[in-house]
Amino acid sequence: MDANSYRSTSLLARPVNLKIANTSANASAPPWNQASPAPKATTLIYSYGMSFAMDSYIARAATYEELNSFHSDDYLDFLGTVLPEPVPRDVDNANPDLKFNLGGSDCPLFEGLYDYCSLSAGGSLDAARKICSRQSDIAVSWGGGLHHAKKAEASGFCYINDIVIAILQLLRCFPRVLYIDIDVHHGDGVEEAFYSTDRVMTVSFHKYDPLNFFPGTGGLDDNGPKNEHNPGAHHAINVPLNDGVTDEQYKWLFETVIGKCVEKFRPSAIALQCGADSLAGDRLGRFNLQVQGHGACVEFCKKFNIPMILFGGGGYTPRNVARAWAFETSIAIGCQDKIDPIIPVHAPWREQFRYEELFPTLEQILGEPRVNRNPQKRLAEVVQHVTEQLRFVQAAPSVQYQAIPPDLGGLREDVEEKLKEEREAENDSIRKAREEAAGTAMEL
């Protein structure tokens, strides 16, 4: 589907909303994240003067009740009381007796863990509320995007799944949400959270190697529950990739797959996880993606004119992540064509970017690009598989079967009316089908 052909009648030009990490809170940075890319990205955004074209807010800490909308009581209580322990760098699980997968090298315990989780979730939750209240068409939470966390388990440096909590908030206002993940790792936590609902479709583009690359899930045939009567069947779309995928391939694949998903699912809102470890030069990534190719995904989604949240995510070479998120912020506010390709001289940490350009070349980043193990024939087969899978997805599914926790303030009256109309339309369709079937039976 061509993004330009999709029109949302309810969307007006409203300010982009940016959530800034609350540096005054008593939250320590995680030990692996002392050079977090989010502050660098925010500084770069302000250095370019983008703040004049958006509304910026200090992120607040999410309450226990808000975290509890997805995570279990036992898990949250443990996060709030557990004490940090030294973790040897060469040990995957230093203490097997620790609960909830906490304490290993990829989910270490540290001072201020609970506060860190609360702030991460609070920023993303408030972004969702800005979208729900129509205060913004695009909301940005670069400090969020922790897509691996499960209901009662930490995973892959993710303790709280702020994306799931934000989508639950969106579902109180919008019938259907399309979740898109362009992190180099499979968005397994979000997919699992909405595994059995037809109100959320998850689409993940990621490197896939079940034996050698975390989390080892997200194969082409992993498309939701196998029981066809489960509402979530076929609502998990996975696009597994090999090393070395290029900007041109990724852009074609993304636009083709997402175009088909939007055409069939007709989402009311989009949640886009912009993990930047898919960029070339990332310490964990294996792609040949540049800042422009990564940003093209945001630009394509914006063209649908659907309310959207941009989340952060993975990224282990901070200078590259900051470049990508700053550029994608410029796309959100519509100034990407005017942005200076040279990083402003007054930008803090400018010397840490290694090169002055906002868009360094592959040769500057890698020296020599990685070998591309994604032949075009295989990518075409992936698209064909996704197309076949979407044939089984009910267009614009009903919302009558899927219950969600009520918001503290209740559903908006206009949203209730919209959902009621959809239910009545589907009931009329079912009644007509039964009448036609009964008439056919009488003739026989």
**Token pair belonging to 314:** 């993975």
Name residue 279's amino acid. L
Closest to 170 measured CA to CA, from 190, 155, 142: 190
Stretch (H or E) spanning 206:
strand 200-207
Distance from C-alpha of 339 to C-alpha of 43, rounded to nearest angstrom:
15
Distance from C-alpha of 129 to C-alpha of 157, rounded to nearest angstrom:
26
Label residue 214 exposed, middle or buried (CB < 10 Å: 0-12, 13-18, 19+): middle
Residue 115 annotated as binding site: no
**148 included as an active-site residue:** yes
Q: Ramachandran region of residue 123, left (φ > 0), alpha (ψ -120 to 50) or beta?
A: alpha
Residue 295 annotated as binding site: no
Distance from C-alpha of 312 to C-alpha of 45, rounded to nearest angstrom:
14
Q: How far is CA 145 from the centre of its chain?
A: 6
Cβ atoms < 10 Å from Cβ of 74? 11
User: Cis peptide before 210, with omega less than 30 degrees from 0?
Assistant: no
Residue 156 annotated as binding site: yes
DSSP 277: G
List 71, 147, 148, 235, catalytic entry: 148
Residue 277 annotated as binding site: yes
Residue 75 annotated as binding site: no
Q: Residues forming the annotated binding site?
A: 106, 156, 183, 185, 277, 316
Active-site residue list? 148
Q: Residues forming the annotated binding site for substrate?
A: 106, 156, 316
